Amino acid sequence: MLTRLEIDGFKTFENETVDLTPFTAVVGSNAAGKSNLFDAIQLLSNLATRDVAEAVKDMRGEPLELFRQTPSGRSRRIRLAAEVLVDPVVRDPWGSEVKLTHTRMRYEVTLERRETRPGIERIQVAHEAVLPILRKEDQWAKAMRPSKPFRSAYLKYVRSKPWLTTEARPEGVTFDIHQDGKQGRNRPASAAEATVLYSITNAEFPHLFALREEMRHWRLLQLDPALLRKPVPATASDVLNADGSNLAAVLAQLKAETQSPSRPNGVLSDIAAELNNLIPGVTRLHAELHDASREYRIELTMRDGLPFSSRVISDGTLRVLALLTLLHDPRHRGLICFEEPENGVHPARVKLLVQRLRDMVISPGNFADDDDVAPLSQLLLNSHSPVVLSALLDKDLHPIEGAILFADTSSVSDPEHKEVRRKTRLRPVRPRAQGDLFELAATPPCYVSDFEVKTVLETASSEA
């Protein structure tokens, strides 16, 4: 679970700190930088599982365009830091399972543009560190007011020394992996084209591996209706892809795992019922393997008894179906970033959709003794819709649950460089509770005013 993100020198961000809850919504107009926040998270996830060249290749824009552009030129460094809560048990690809003694970590990484030969520039890792967050310094845990069962199950504080540091030595800069059940290692950092985290592929260093696994499961869900419509090969993965291209295979797997003589369609009956609440008229959901073509196919039956294949189902219905599938998949874990959840949903039913999305995440304050210790899940969504904002607020304009951030741009005056720069800023809507996550921050934020919130809400009638 990502609890804090610090961004500097990346796209439109400059010295920005973002505190996150299990359910966080970012609201703002187009071009305010909402998608850039998702891109920063995606970059961190990529750096944990790919070398730098591959990590930046799949981002929106060219690699050079990831570095902040200002009137005085383009930044040479991107600095990112993430504070996380990792799952208390980690399993490597060979089935080894390790219980962690410390689950609160801070990861820091700096990317730098370096000229390796005249006219040839590469992006390399200049700094990397993994540090423990101590119990007495854990402002996120204090603000979340976790229940005793949640604290006992997920919050572990034993380690006081770093797992990974960047050290300057006479022979050059090195990345030092410190002891974690195994003897540590040193690696040269003079021309690093991959992070150390990328190289930790098993539980030999369990805490670093747990961090890598956490970041590997941060996903930007970019559902593509054209791919959602297509039949899926029988060999497709049964874990939902970021673009939703294997939705039919995921649904078929869920049906196989949950069906019984009394419920032959398994959990697909529940998904169909919830889909009907959001998009009336749906009575049945089918996901079957077509014997002749060896492809999985989706079919919806409507109230008149007529079946419709995914080829003719609307874009919005398919997007909502994919979201509901994630809700009901017990293997779902990690952070999901999702843009504009309201697309394809009638404004009158957006509130219900938002409530169901909240159900996707673990709530530290409501975790009970009889709850299963499941993998941590988190949702970060963004929207420009006042209808979504109204569904997130109570009558006093406080967030009903989680956090709401307003994204906009502000000016930074820099007398040293004699320039004025525009940057993305993220300000929270004031929660109802005192001593909240933002008030406990080292630098308390400037909250969004009630006037600003009301101004956005007043435009909702034009969308309804």
| Residue 227 counted as domain residue | yes
- Beta-carbon contacts of 359 under 8 Å, excluding residues fewer than 6 positions away, are 327
Q: Calculate the average pLDDT of the chain.
A: 89
In a domain, 293, yes or no: yes
Task: Count CB-CB contacts under 10 A for residue 390.
Answer: 19
List per-residue pLDDT tens for the chain, 464 residues long: 999 999 999 999 999 999 999 999 999 988 888 999 999 999 999 999 999 999 999 888 889 999 999 888 899 999 999 999 999 999 888 777 899 999 999 999 999 999 888 888 899 999 999 999 999 999 999 999 999 999 999 999 999 999 999 998 888 889 999 988 666 677 767 778 899 999 998 888 999 999 999 999 998 988 898 999 989 999 998 888 989 999 999 999 999 999 999 999 999 999 999 999 888 889 999 999 888 889 999 999 988 888 888 888 888 889 989 988 988 888 788 899 999 888 878 888 888 889 888 887 888 988 887 777 788 889 999 999 999 999 999 999 999 989 999 999 998 888 877 888 999 999 999 988 766 677 666 566 789 999 999 999 988 655 44
195 and 265 housed in the same domain: no
Q: Which domain holds residue 248?
A: 223-332
Same domain, 234 and 191: no
pTM, rounded to two decimals: 0.91
> Does some domain include residue 337?
no
Does residue 394 belong to any structural domain of this protein?
Answer: yes
Phi, psi (rounded to 5 degrees) for 393: -110, 150
Same structural domain, 327 and 252: yes
Residues 6 and 82 in one domain: yes
Residue 340 lies in a domain: no
pLDDT digits (tens, 9 = 90+) for 334-391: 899 999 888 878 888 888 889 888 887 888 988 887 777 788 889 999 999 999 999 9
Last-in-domain residue among 332, 358, 389: 332
Claim to verify: residue 424 and residue 455 sit in the same structural domain: yes
- Asked if residue 305 and residue 233 are part of one domain, the reply reads yes
In a domain, 338, yes or no: no
Task: Among 276, 304, 332, identify where a domain stops.
Answer: 332
Residues 200 and 249 both lie in one domain:
no
Residue 348 tokens, joined? 């009158």
Do 42 and 168 lie in a common domain?
A: yes
Same domain, 457 and 366: yes
**Domain co-membership, 123 together with 235:** no
How far CA 450 is from CA of 271, 346, 403, in Å, comes to 37, 26, 15
Q: If DSSP codes are grouped into helix, strand and coil, which group holds residue 208?
A: helix
Q: Are 68 and 178 found together in one domain?
A: yes
> Same domain for 43 and 126?
yes
Q: How far apart are CA 254 and CA 270, in angstroms?
A: 11
Beta-bridge partners for 166: 175
Q: In whole angstroms, what is the distance from residue 309 CA to residue 292 CA? A: 17
Question: Number of folded domains in the chain?
Answer: 2
In this predicted model, what pLDDT tens digit does every residue of 390-443 receive, in sequence order?
999 999 999 998 999 999 999 888 887 788 899 999 999 998 876 667 766 656
Domain final residue pick, 307, 332, 357: 332
Buried b or exposed e, range 421-444, using 16+ CB within 10 angstroms: bebbbbbbbbbeeeebbbbebeee
Q: What is the pLDDT of residue 246?
A: 93
- Name the residue type at position 189: A
